[in-house]
Chains A and B, each alone.
Chain A
Amino acid sequence: MSLLEVRNLKKYFPIKSGVLRRTTGHVFAVDDISFSVEKGETLGLVGESGCGKSTTGRAVLRLTEATGGSVTFDGTDVMAATRTEMQRLRRDMQIIFQDPYASLNPRKRVKHIIGEPLVIHDIGTEDERRRRVFELLETVGLSAEHAERYPHEFSGGQRQRIGVARALALHPRLIICDEPVSALDVSIRAQIINLLEDLQQEMELTYVFIAHDLSVVKHLSDRVAVMYLGKIVETSDSKLLYDVPQHPYTEALLSAVPIPDPETERARRRIILEGDVPSPANPPKGCVFHPRCQRAQEICTTAMPTLARTGEAGERHEVACYFPTRYEDGKRSVAETPFEGALLGAVASAHHSPD
């Protein structure tokens, strides 16, 4: 059984306007996505701004209440948990935030920031808690002498280490990493990436790693889910992702990431997408990607294709596209007839969908 199971997760934010603040529409931030994460594995959630990746992370932890769907953590229904059950669950499920400046209280000493989860969950005596804080500081590459200092005395990378220490305080099993390295300089970013890898090894942690930087996501993840406008359009083993992407958005995204190697860069062909991402308040009908897709045909405008299994036997590869890219004997081609998996599911979902 997977450690984390997410089924048909939805999060719609109401748009209120007018004097009466009536709801006049919705932002479809996360729209019916499903995924699972195995114990000890890292799932990368990648996509551009506004694709719903951070909202997904927050909804899984119930930091924002989902509009629909289910989240199961180690057999427990997270969505149905009461306040006290939720508090228990939060020990197991922690989060590291993007901005190491905004996520640490500037008025508190580091020992209080890291020790706070222990106090809230009433763990240990004061003395034990202090020792645990020292231990955590060492774990993340800081030292006990840092405990008395305030966040402003640290550089960005060191602050992110404090954020990591705080997340580890309760011995969690799952950590949602929400863009934890995006605000950091290259050399410091690599330090934190290595730290996260080491901690995962030592503590058998499971990560959901959310980021917009595809090379970082691919580096850290075992499996990658690519999101676009609130939907997962492709999931794949990260080893396969670069070589055999099937969704046209994944292909464009991969081709847009510059690779720090001049010869490779000169040899690459870039797929440039036209226009901007549509507003999630008014997503296109049918496949959310079709207005920017060069392969779009009539069927693409009718219903969102379902995420369906694809690729070779034994590969964990899913794609939500009627005309995915096919690879045979190293040759790349685009499916000519609609992909059955996507088709069958789409009909079914159109049938179930109330709107």
Chain B
Amino acid sequence: MAERLLEVKDLSTHFFTHVGVVKAVNGVSFTLDRQETLGIVGESGSGKTVAALSLMRLIPDPPGKIVAGDILLGGRDLRALSEEEMRGVRGNDIAMIFQDPMTSLNPVFKIGSQIAEAIMLHQDKSKGEAWDMAAALLARVGIPDARKRVNQYPFEFSGGMRQRAMIAMAISCNPDVLIADEPTTALDVTIQAQIIDVMREMQAQFHSGVILITHDLGVVAEIADKVMVMYGGRTVEYGPVDEVYYNPHHPYTWGLLGSLPRLDLAEKHRLEPIKGQPPDLLLLPPGCPFSGRCGFERPECRDRWPAHEVVGAEHGVHCWIPNDERLETRAGLPRFKEWVA
């Protein structure tokens, strides 16, 4: 059996603002095994980044606070650690790559010194050794002329190169868990393909578990083993990639899949968008955050949050529509006619 790296149970992170409480993450649970890739998908404001920052304990407090839940990393509860202990965990056990590599690299320090700093912080290495390691890491993530490149500044790197440097920094201490928050969103698609390739290779070499946060269901289909679909701070559906793509149970997942144009299909098909606008996080209903846009709503949806329902192997959904009715409804959607025999 695979080694369990991370277990998150009922995580809730709220922001206490002067206009009200924003429940950015609301009772979210998931697990991550060694060498596994979990994709977290959702649209802006769905809580996927806040969930990741909560794992790193990087939520700005105030206004934010992890109000409930357990974050177990190798059995150790990260919520119980002191700030100092947590500093030992960050970078060493969990590392994170951010969307915009330009703002997450310091513009006035050489790339090499930024990577070396991370190494010296966590490992007993001299400055010279750390710089050598930095150069070796850059070479490993596919930066040509790494020996020379360590002495350059971030502005001398292209967007793709910067993201490679970020990956080099993140893997420098061989973390168990690597969180990548929209790592390719700011990049062109051919550069995205390079970065995904590097990430995959690094995962194979370092045996990390990867949490990939993205809004791109294509990227998830490409590299994730399982996927968590978030909406309005809630997990609406969670399961192995094939289950969620071919046997989706939540109306929001249907909507997402129906909204995507497909490059590989010769025939033009009409998209089936989700109606309405994204929710106002301050005014979320106590029940399902997707009620109001769902289209298959029932009276109980707005008021109560449905319990987790197992619908397949490690595949779960939160939805009030009874299972058989759900499958029937889905079979009627143009998008899924071909998939549900």
- The answer to whether B89 has its CB under 8 Å from any CB of chain A is no
What's the Cα separation between A243 and B264 when bound, in Å? Answer: 8
| B192: chain A residues within 8 A (beta carbon) | 256
Of B221, B261, B263, which contacts A254 at CB under 8 A?
Answer: B263
- Find out whether the CB atom of A188 lies under 8 angstroms from the CB atom of B190: no
- The answer to whether A189 has its CB under 8 Å from any CB of chain B is yes
- Find out whether the CB atom of A212 lies under 8 angstroms from the CB atom of B189: yes
- The answer to whether A263 has its CB under 8 Å from any CB of chain B is yes
Q: How many Å from the CB of A121 to the closest CB on chain B?
A: 32
- Find out whether the CB atom of B190 lies under 8 angstroms from the CB atom of A273: yes
Residues 255-278 of B, flagged 1 when their CB comes within 8 A of A and 0 if not, give 111111111101010111111011
Residues 265-302 of A, flagged 1 when their CB comes within 8 A of B and 0 if not, give 10000101100110000000000000000000000000
What's the Cα separation between A258 and B264 when bound, in Å? Answer: 10
- The answer to whether A105 has its CB under 8 Å from any CB of chain B is no
| B189: chain A residues within 8 A (beta carbon) | 48, 212, 214, 253, 256-257
- Given A212-B188, A258-B219, A258-B221, CB of A276 within 8 Å of CB of B160: yes
What's the Cα separation between A262 and B242 when bound, in Å? Answer: 6
Q: How large is the interface on A (under 10, 10 to 19, 20 to 34, 35 or more residues)?
A: 35 or more
What's the Cα separation between A19 and B217 when bound, in Å? Answer: 50
Which residue on B lies nearest to A261, using beta carbons? B221
Residues of A contacting B: mostly: helix
What's the Cα separation between A191 and B275 when bound, in Å? Answer: 8
- Find out whether the CB atom of A260 lies under 8 angstroms from the CB atom of B215: no
| A256: chain B residues within 8 A (beta carbon) | 189-190, 192-193
Of B188, B218, B255, B266, which contacts A260 at CB under 8 A?
Answer: B218
- Find out whether the CB atom of A188 lies under 8 angstroms from the CB atom of B273: yes
- The answer to whether A119 has its CB under 8 Å from any CB of chain B is no
- The answer to whether B43 has its CB under 8 Å from any CB of chain A is yes
The number of residue pairs between A and B whose CB atoms lie closer than 8 Å in the complex comes to: 131
10 of the cross-chain contacts (CB-CB < 8 Å) are A185-B43, A187-B43, A191-B275, A215-B260, A218-B263, A257-B263, A259-B221, A262-B241, A263-B242, A272-B193
User: Which of A190, A194, A256 is most buried by chain B, counting CB atoms within 10 A of its CB?
Assistant: A190
- Given A155-B277, A187-B259, A272-B194, CB of A257 within 8 Å of CB of B160: no
Q: A interface vs B, CB < 8 Å? A: 48-49, 155, 157-158, 185-191, 193-194, 197, 212, 214-216, 218-220, 239, 242-243, 252-265, 270, 272-273, 276-277
- Given A252-B190, A253-B189, A273-B190, CB of A189 within 8 Å of CB of B259: yes
| A185: chain B residues within 8 A (beta carbon) | 43-44, 215, 278
- Given A212-B189, A270-B193, CB of A190 within 8 Å of CB of B271: yes
- Find out whether the CB atom of B277 lies under 8 angstroms from the CB atom of A188: yes
| A187: chain B residues within 8 A (beta carbon) | 43, 255-256, 259, 273-274, 278
Which residue on A lies nearest to B193, using beta carbons? A256
What's the Cα separation between A252 and B272 when bound, in Å? Answer: 29
| A254: chain B residues within 8 A (beta carbon) | 263
- Find out whether the CB atom of A186 lies under 8 angstroms from the CB atom of B43: yes
Of all A-B residue pairs in the complex, the 9 with the closest CB atoms, nearest first, are A258-B218, A219-B261, A190-B273, A190-B259, A187-B274, A48-B188, A185-B43, A256-B193, A260-B217
What's the Cα separation between A214 and B278 when bound, in Å? Answer: 25
Of A212, A220, A260, A276, which contacts B257 at CB under 8 A?
Answer: A260
What's the Cα separation between A48 and B255 when bound, in Å? Answer: 28
| A262: chain B residues within 8 A (beta carbon) | 221, 241-242, 245-246
Of B160, B221, B272, which contacts A265 at CB under 8 A?
Answer: B221
- Find out whether the CB atom of B278 lies under 8 angstroms from the CB atom of A264: no
| A273: chain B residues within 8 A (beta carbon) | 190, 193-194
- Given A48-B189, A185-B44, CB of A193 within 8 Å of CB of B261: yes
What's the Cα separation between A215 and B269 when bound, in Å? Answer: 12
| B191: chain A residues within 8 A (beta carbon) | 48, 276
| B261: chain A residues within 8 A (beta carbon) | 193, 215-216, 218-220
What's the Cα separation between A191 and B276 when bound, in Å? Answer: 9
Which residue on A lies nearest to B43, using beta carbons? A185
Which residue on A lies nearest to B214, using beta carbons? A258
| B256: chain A residues within 8 A (beta carbon) | 186-187
Residues 115-152 of B, flagged 1 when their CB comes within 8 A of A and 0 if not, give 00000000000000000000000000000000000000
| Known A219-B262, A255-B193, A261-B264; 9 more pairs at CB < 8 Å | A48-B188, A187-B256, A187-B259, A188-B273, A190-B258, A214-B189, A219-B268, A242-B266, A273-B190
| B268: chain A residues within 8 A (beta carbon) | 219
Of A191, A216, A259, which contacts B273 at CB under 8 A?
Answer: A191
- The answer to whether B161 has its CB under 8 Å from any CB of chain A is yes
Q: How many Å from the CB of B269 to the closest CB on chain A?
A: 8
| A220: chain B residues within 8 A (beta carbon) | 261
- The answer to whether B222 has its CB under 8 Å from any CB of chain A is yes
- Find out whether the CB atom of B218 lies under 8 angstroms from the CB atom of A259: yes
- The answer to whether B216 has its CB under 8 Å from any CB of chain A is yes
Of A155, A157, A190, A258, which contacts B216 at CB under 8 A?
Answer: A258
- The answer to whether B158 has its CB under 8 Å from any CB of chain A is yes
Q: How many Å from the CB of B264 to the closest CB on chain A?
A: 5
| A239: chain B residues within 8 A (beta carbon) | 266
Q: How many Å from the CB of A37 to the closest CB on chain B?
A: 18
What's the Cα separation between A11 and B260 when bound, in Å? Answer: 34
| B190: chain A residues within 8 A (beta carbon) | 48, 252-253, 256, 272-273
- Find out whether the CB atom of A186 lies under 8 angstroms from the CB atom of B259: yes
| B218: chain A residues within 8 A (beta carbon) | 215, 257-260, 265
Residues 215-246 of B, flagged 1 when their CB comes within 8 A of A and 0 if not, give 11111111000000000000000000110011
- Find out whether the CB atom of A272 lies under 8 angstroms from the CB atom of B264: no
- The answer to whether B300 has its CB under 8 Å from any CB of chain A is no
| B44: chain A residues within 8 A (beta carbon) | 185
Which residue on B lies nearest to A46, using beta carbons? B189
What's the Cα separation between A256 and B192 when bound, in Å? Answer: 8
Q: How many Å from the CB of B19 to the closest CB on chain A?
A: 15
| A214: chain B residues within 8 A (beta carbon) | 189, 263
What's the Cα separation between A194 and B245 when bound, in Å? Answer: 23
- Given A48-B189, A219-B271, A265-B221, CB of A260 within 8 Å of CB of B245: yes
